[in-house]
Amino acid sequence: MTDWIGKTFTSDFGWNHLESLVDLGDRMAGSPGEREAMELTRDALEAAGARNAHIDTFEIQGWERGDSRVVTDGTTQDCIALPRSPSDASSGEFVDLGYGLPEDFEADLSGKVVMVSSTVPDHYERFIHRREKYYHAVEAGAEAFVFANHVEGCLPPTGSVGTEESPVGDIPAVGVSKEVGTRLARRFEGEAVTVEVDCETPPAESGNVHAELGPDTEDELLVTSHLDAHDIAEGAWDNGSGTAMVVELARILAEREDELETRVRFIAFGAEEVGLVGSGHESDRLGDEREHIKAVVNNDGVVFGRTLKFDTHGFDALEAAAESVGDQFDHPVSIVPELVPHSDHWPFTQWGVPGYMISCETAGRGRGWGHTFADTLDKLEVRNLREQAILLAQLVVDLADDEMEIQHKDEAEIIEALEEEDHAAGMKITGDWPY
């Protein structure tokens, strides 16, 4: 019965796939690297023993990086463009808005180049996403947006702007390291600064990779990740780790297929980093059939830390299942019941589908090395992949049990929770409010 555990402790299947992904070099949405990642993942799922492995393609607005500059008093400061920034140059008086909390944008920012931090204060009740800060700046009339890393190490952060309706943003946007941000705030507050972004926005193609195991039931579990990554790094943690986990889970569950009482569908989504496009495509494709999704088990940022973190979005049954797995293996797990309206579970969970956002506990707030040049394979350990795969494989088997009941929520319940947790206003600003 426990042979699968021993095999997992010596398995290199998921780790080898992770190495294959990071060695592609660039998995930006719509790029040749992302397409190759789709094909590698399709082949890995098939090799794992899953059936009907295939790619479902869709069109996206592409974005290709050129040069970018922050020019101060004739000096160019190091920066990188944020994906889906428009190709533009804007000048204005430099203003450091600190954390960039909603109240920091209440002033008229017309004619200003604004800089905000990539984090929020420790005491603040919720994390404010980069895109929310960007659109606060747009709404307040800013000329350009500078996103400063709060983590030391000379690492400018990336991350997309834009909305589903308007994929390319309104004002030029760049990321700068903490060190450059500190220099800008100290030396150039109130002075003229120019932000320049060169880029191309050609039409492009992305896709989702699908495969399945278990009985051909009407209800299904979705085990998901995203396989795209930002073009500046390997994307090992975000989210090569999640896709490696998906293929490792497929390998384990193929051996345990007779224990599955509900169909398990594996999906590695494309174009997550530019607005959850792949998962949104699949959710829209399913439409009313979303009622047959028993749960979404979404892996985004696993392996880096040893303890799995389960965001359960107020679904008590999901919380109980995660706690049970931790108890079964006498292994610590971290459970957060609040909503996370980001990553690939959300296009399903926003309509009441039970969904996990599974990551791992890390020190500090925010992504750390994620979304920087330093998101590289050397930060991850194969031990963590193997241990976490054991817990997650058992979780999927438990969720697939016919006796496991997980109630969907009404749309009104999700809306109420978003309002209570102070997400609603920001989602409306970013264009992510679907109701």
Supply the pTM of this predicted model: 0.96
pLDDT at 164: 78
pLDDT of 367 > 70? The answer is no
Q: Quick one: CA torsion of 189, 194, 199, 201, rounded to 10 degrees?
A: 80
pLDDT of 366 > 80? The answer is no
Pinpoint the alpha helices (H) of 87-206.
130-139, 178-188
Q: Round to whole Å and give the CA distance between 210 and 16.
A: 20
pLDDT of 394 > 90? The answer is yes
Q: Which pLDDT band holds residue 368 (cuts at 50, 70, 90)?
A: confident
Cis bond leading into 239, ω under 30°? yes
pLDDT at 232: 94
CATH of domain 64-199: 3.50.30.30
pLDDT at 85: 97
For the stretch 219-233, pLDDT in tens is: 999 999 999 999 999
pLDDT of 292 > 70? The answer is yes
pLDDT at 277: 97
pLDDT at 163: 81
**Cα distances (angstroms) measured from residue 400 to each of 197, 269, 334:** 48, 22, 22
For the stretch 8-35, pLDDT in tens is: 999 999 999 999 999 998 999 999 999 9
pLDDT of 103 > 90? The answer is yes
pLDDT at 370: 82
pLDDT at 171: 97
Residue 389: burial class (beta carbons within 10 Å; 0-12, 13-18, 19+): buried
Is 64-199 in the same CATH topology as 2-62+204-420?
no
pLDDT of 334 > 90? The answer is yes
Where is pLDDT greater, at 256 or 25?
A: 256
pLDDT of 1 > 70? The answer is no
- Helices 241-255 + 382-400 axis angle, to 10: 50
Percent of the chain with pLDDT over 70: 99
Q: Please say whether the dihedral angle defined by the alpha carbons of residues 184, 189, 194 and 195, taken in this order, is positive or negative.
A: positive
pLDDT of 165 > 90? The answer is no
Q: Round to whole Å and give the CA distance between 16 and 49.
A: 16
pLDDT at 385: 98
**Quick one: average pLDDT of 161-184?**
93
* Nearest in space to 113 (alpha carbons), one of 163, 188, 178: 188
pLDDT of 365 > 80? The answer is no
pLDDT at 247: 98
Q: Which pLDDT band holds residue 363 (cuts at 50, 70, 90)?
A: confident
For the stretch 31-61, pLDDT in tens is: 999 999 999 999 999 999 999 999 999 999 9
**Quick one: average pLDDT of 280-286?**
98
Rg (CA), the chain: 21
What are the extents of the domains in the chain? 2-62+204-420, 64-199
Q: Maximum Cα–Cα distance for the chain, whole Å?
A: 69
pLDDT at 120: 93
pLDDT of 2 > 90? The answer is no
The token pair at 208 is 């989702």
Q: Which pLDDT band holds residue 369 (cuts at 50, 70, 90)?
A: confident
The token pair at 359 is 């990551």
pLDDT at 364: 65
CATH of domain 2-62+204-420: 3.40.630.10
